[in-house]
Structure formats: C-alpha cells, structure tokens
Structure 1
C-alpha cells in the first residue's frame, strides 16, 4: 500500500494513473528532464525501447525520506497471442533518501513473449537504494533488460539480479560512480537447465577518487544450458584510492552445459586496489563421496551442493524477508518443483 504519508511518488509519464498509485505534481516535469539521460541512447536495444515504449513508471523518493516498507513492481506477462512488451522505469533518489525496490518478472501464460526493459536510476548525494530483480518466466520468453545507474557523493547502491527460470535472457548493468565516497555492490545468481541461456554484461565505471565496488556473479548450469558473463571495471585517470573486487564463479553440473566468462579490468590510475577472477568447474567429487558415505543419496547430495554454491549470493541480500523467501524458491527450483513462474495471487 502506498500513501502520501510515505512521501513517495509513483507515476506514469503519460496516460491515466492506476488507482493504487498517486501523483505528486512536481514529479512529472522533473522526470521528463531526467528521462533518457542516464541510459545509453546509442544502444540499439535501448533505442528500440525508447521508440516503442508508450509509458514510463517513475519512482521518486524525495530528500530525506526513508521508505520503511519495500516497494514491489510486478511485471506479469499474460495473453493468448505472442507478444512484444516494452517497459521503462525511472527511479530518482533525492539526497539522503532510502528505499528497497523489488522488480519481478513473471509469465502467467505459455505464449511467446519478447520483453525489452530499460531501468534508469539517478542517485543523489548520500542516498541509499537496494534494487532487486527476480525473473521467473518460462522457456518461451526472451528478455532484454538494461539497467543504468548514476551515483552521487557518498551514495550506496546494492543491486541483485536473480534469474530463476527463463528462456533467453540478456542483462546489461552499467553503473557510473560520479561522486566521491560512493559505493556499489552488484551481485547476480543464475539457475539454468534444459536449453536456457543467460547472459550478464556489466560495466562499473569509477570516474572519481575514493569509491568502492564489489561484484559477485554465480551460475549453476545443468543439462544443455548456456551461460555468459562479461564484466568490466573501468578506473579512469584521476580515480585514485579506488577499491574494486570482481568475481565470477560457475558450476556446470553436466558435460553438455557451457559457460563463457570474461572478467576485465581497465585501469588508468596508479593508487588503486583492484582484483578480478573467474572459475568454471564441475561437482566436487570429494564432497560427493563424503556426503554419500554418510547416507545421503546422490540426487540429494547434488542438490545440496548446488544450493550451498548459490547461498553466498542470497545471503548478501540485506532485505531479510526477500532473503528468506528466495531460499525456499531456490530449493524448489533445484528440486524441479518450479519449472516456470512460481505463481502468486496477482497471476491468478
């Protein structure tokens, strides 16, 4: 439930407002000034979204407002015909504003869907934002998701992207640290099997001194699934005292699963602490043997090892209620009990 007492505005740029949203009069003109200023307008996928998107959802948290309860934006794909969907979200965090935002993608019918989503985030000085994206669709869904973030001085941005079920997904994350003392945590978790494909492409751009970034992406690939990760950390000239860590760890549960990984560092400053690395491996045979010796059957053993591998990402989520729910959903997914959207009252 959203109330003016929270001081938060959710409003489309065009068209009527949904009955459960409300409007703050100065949110719309401010949003128009920022619209398409953060995203990469030269990118063909973004340009297509800009051309075809008929509306934009604006989330504006004013100066000094701390939103106590999480905001959830549910995107539900439903229809009898094959459909292309273009969505645009603009998030504006004013000075010292704080919020948790959860964006979920679900499919309530088995039609083919092509989704092109662009999210722009503007973070002013001393703002705090935890942004979570969860995808639970099906094998006939193709999703292009682009997130662009600008951070001001001493801002804190935590982003977690979880792909639990999909067809073909390409995620792009671009973060520009433009104010001194800003910090970003960018994590991702992928569970894929059958013929699923998930690509994650990230860029963390350190433009000023005294900023920190920490990035962790983990994949569990089964059957003939394909994963790809290309993560670049750019430290510009003059961005001294930068601290950055980038890690990509991947578990291929079968010989037919494939993973392509390319972590990158591009550094033009000399007083920095930066590291990057990636691993691709299969099940630990010693761990499998150890657990089998203690009476755990092979199927359960493999499931427990996969869950333990993913847990590191889940445990970094600051929002306890979401963290607890994801532990349950991930367990269902790994057991094969979740083969599409997990379902909720909104989809029924």
Structure 2
C-alpha cells in the first residue's frame, strides 16, 4: 500500500483546501470516494481488468499537484496551431484540469448548449450537474475512479439540451503545462439529452518536457434517440502517463461512435465501459495505436448489453515497433433477456519487430439464446511475400514496410465519420511511421 499511502495522507492533510476550491456537487461525492480508495487501493495485476499494466508503479513517483489552483501562465491560442482546419464550430482549451475561459471563441453555440468549466457550472447550476455527476462512474467499483473523484476540482461540462443538433464538431484541446513534474486529475461530464446530436474531438498534448501523470474520468449520458461522436487523440511525449476511464450510458435508440487514437505517448491505460440501458441502441468502438521504443498502450473495454435489440461493433488495431508493448482486453456481456443482440468484436495487431509484445484477450459472455455475436483477434508480422513483391518493383524495404503498416491501420481511420479528421490523421499517421514527431508547422507545443 506504499503507492496509496501518499495519496491517503495528501487527502487527509489537504481535504479542506481541495473542497474550498471546488463546489458542493463535486464535494458531495468526495469523502465517499476517499473511503472507497482506502478500501480498494490501486488495482493490481491480479485484478482481471488491470492484468497488463502495473498501476501502482505509475502512481509511485512523487508528483506535484495544483491543489491551491494557482494560475499557470499560458496563452493556448498563441501557442497552439495544430487544430484541424474547417473542423470545429469552436475551439476550446483545458489547461491541465482547468477550463481556459480568458479568451473564448467568438462563434456562439446553439441556444442552451453549454461548453464550460465543470466547477463553474456546478456552482451556478448545481441541480443540472448533480443530476448526472458521479451517476455513471462508480467510485466504489474502481480505485482509479475513486482517486479521481476524491481529488478532481475542475474539468469540463458539455451539455446539449433536448432536440438540439450541433452540425460541426467541437474541438477540445487538453494541454499539460508545468515547470515541475505534475499530476493532473481531470473530470469531464457530457450530457446529450433526448434527440440531441454532438460531435466532439479531444486532443491531448504536452507543452513542457516534464513528467506528467494525468487521470481522467469521462461520464457521457446519451439520451433517447440522441447521438454522440467522441474522438480522443493522444499526441503527447515519452514522459507522459495517461490513465483514462470513459463511462457511457446509452438510452433507447441512441447512437455512439467512440474512437481512441494513440499516436505518441509514454504509458497509456484507457478503459471504456459502455452500457445499453434502452433497446434499439447502437455503438461503434474503434481504436488505433502506433507505438515504438518503450511505449506502453493498454486498452480495456466492456460493452454491457443489459437490454435486447442493441448492436455493438468493436475494432482495435495496433502497430508496434522496437520494444513497445500493447494490450487489448475487450469483453462483451449479453445479459439474461437481452435477445436480438448483435455484436462483433475484432482486434488485429502487427508486431514490426521480434521484441515488440502484444497481449490480446477478446471475450464474450452470453446469457441469452437469440443473439448474433462473434469475436476474434490476430497477432502477426509484416508479410514477407508482400515485402519481396514490392522490392522487386523498385520500392525500398523501408518504404515497403511503411506502406504495409499504413494500409493496415487505415481501416480504423476510414471508419471515422469526420472527413477533415480522417484526412488529418492520414497525414499524421504517415509522419508517425516515418519516425517524425507529429508537429504542425507553427506550433510551439511538442517541441
């Protein structure tokens, strides 16, 4: 319990300070989450869903925390030049775990739509936030969620009222910024009410060459006949540790597309829990990972078919080079009575070297008899015959490998609904395979 001890002592010593810089809604869950964390601790490799990542080791170093909410100087609009052209209705920034409200986009969102600081909205409209906050992400079931709930002081609140459709995507840039090694605990709450539609792109970047540890909990409520497209792109650096838990609740006839793209990182552990609460709903979970050197990427998913007549599709692809380690564990649970369920789960992986390692565990757990469910996984290397064929036609071995890797990962990218994002990712993925950092011209981050 050595790793847990420092966080338990921190909360006991700084409890009032943490609460003083937050709001009543978040504080109402905080002490219970602390008790849950003391009971659960960090999950070990003996816990089935965490068997491929040593969580305690990630949290063992001594990181600084901005509990007193000191202002960290950065002008993201001056520093950041990586946004995808013609993609966003508006561009918003979150600095570490704080919503950047000093300069906001000029273009207004539809009436009733909120994209703002979670702390601010929970203070001004507590009844709205309290209706959803902490209801999907249960701190009594997971130590990471409990830790985030007890320490998070701010984050992002996105609300789309009943019947409102936002045509173009909203882009959120998460920037890690610090002069010292820093731990960040970010909270995101997304609410799309009945018949609402929204497309969101989250981009994670690190502005400084420091050791960062970022925990993130995203709760997304998708109402009846509502639609949510959620794209999460990580492009940080080798000193960054990211532990992200995404919890999605889908109501009847809703639709969710959730895509996770890891282009550059240090250690990443992504968890996605999606629950069908109403019949007729559909979800598509996709992920693509490109990792090399000593990078580690672990994606763990759970799709819970609580009711019948729902459809889930899952496709994750990894390309691993050098000594990189990848892990994918995906479980589809079909409960009693969830008849007419359709589910397809696929994980395909490419190890470009003999030292790269991939762990894969697709799972089906079915308690209904009228379903169509399938799952499968593959782990392989580049096709020698294809490489030879291409070299015979004047293509160098290096370029031939790049083309095959690019074609392999493109299946995931081509499934994305946002055309500008697809085009941008094609460009970034090619640069990544060529060993170049995915920087955009004029960007002062990521240098």
Give the shorter-chain TM-score range. over 0.9
Q: Does 1:268 align with 2:268?
A: no
SS in 1 for 2:246: strand
Relative to structure 1, is the Cα distance of residues 167 and 57 closer, same or farther in structure 2, using a 3 angstrom cutoff? Answer: same
By percentage of residues, which structure has more strand? 1
Equivalent residue for 2:114, pick from 2, 6, 9: 9
Deviation at 1:347, TM superposition (A): 3.8
Name the residue aligned to 1:279: 378
Equivalent residue for 1:30, pick from 128, 132, 138: 128
- Residues 226-248 of structure 1: per-residue CA shift (max 9 Å, x gap): 00000000000000000000000
SS in 2 for 1:274: strand
Name the residue aligned to 2:56: none
Following the alignment from structure 1 to structure 2, what is the Cα–Cα distance between the partners of residues 13 and 175? 22
Equivalent residue for 1:163, pick from 259, 262, 278: 262
Relative to structure 1, is the Cα distance of residues 247 and 227 closer, same or farther in structure 2, using a 3 angstrom cutoff? Answer: same
Name the residue aligned to 2:394: 295
Following the alignment from structure 1 to structure 2, what is the Cα–Cα distance between the partners of residues 276 and 346? 43
Following the alignment from structure 2 to structure 1, what is the Cα–Cα distance between the partners of residues 439 and 245? 21
Gaps of 5+ in 1: 18-22
Q: In 1, are the aligned partners of 2:118 and 2:188 still within 8 Å (CA)? A: no
Q: In 2, are the aligned partners of 1:138 and 1:341 still within 8 Å (CA)? A: no
Following the alignment from structure 1 to structure 2, what is the Cα–Cα distance between the partners of residues 47 and 281? 38
Name the residue aligned to 1:218: 317
Equivalent residue for 1:147, pick from 238, 243, 246: 246
Deviation at 1:188, TM superposition (A): 0.3
Q: In 2, are the aligned partners of 1:136 and 1:342 still within 8 Å (CA)? A: no
Gaps of 5+ in 2: 1-89, 91-106
Following the alignment from structure 2 to structure 1, what is the Cα–Cα distance between the partners of residues 268 and 223? 30
By percentage of residues, which structure has more helix? 2
Question: Where does 1:130-279 land on structure 2 (aligned, <5 Å)?
Answer: 130-279=229-378
Instruction: Please give the TM-score of this superposition, normalised by the length of structure 2.
Output: 0.74
Deviation at 1:5, TM superposition (A): 3.4
Name the residue aligned to 2:427: 328
Name the residue aligned to 1:20: none
SS in 2 for 1:34: coil
The worse-fitting range, judged by mean Cα deviation, of 259-268 and 64-73 is 64-73
Deviation at 1:33, TM superposition (A): 1.9
Computing the radius of gyration from Cα coordinates, the structure with the larger value is 2
Deviation at 1:7, TM superposition (A): 3.6
SS in 2 for 1:308: helix
Following the alignment from structure 1 to structure 2, what is the Cα–Cα distance between the partners of residues 344 and 39? 39
Following the alignment from structure 1 to structure 2, what is the Cα–Cα distance between the partners of residues 345 and 96? 38
Deviation at 1:341, TM superposition (A): 5.8
Name the residue aligned to 2:213: 114
Relative to structure 1, is the Cα distance of residues 344 and 108 closer, same or farther in structure 2, using a 3 angstrom cutoff? Answer: farther
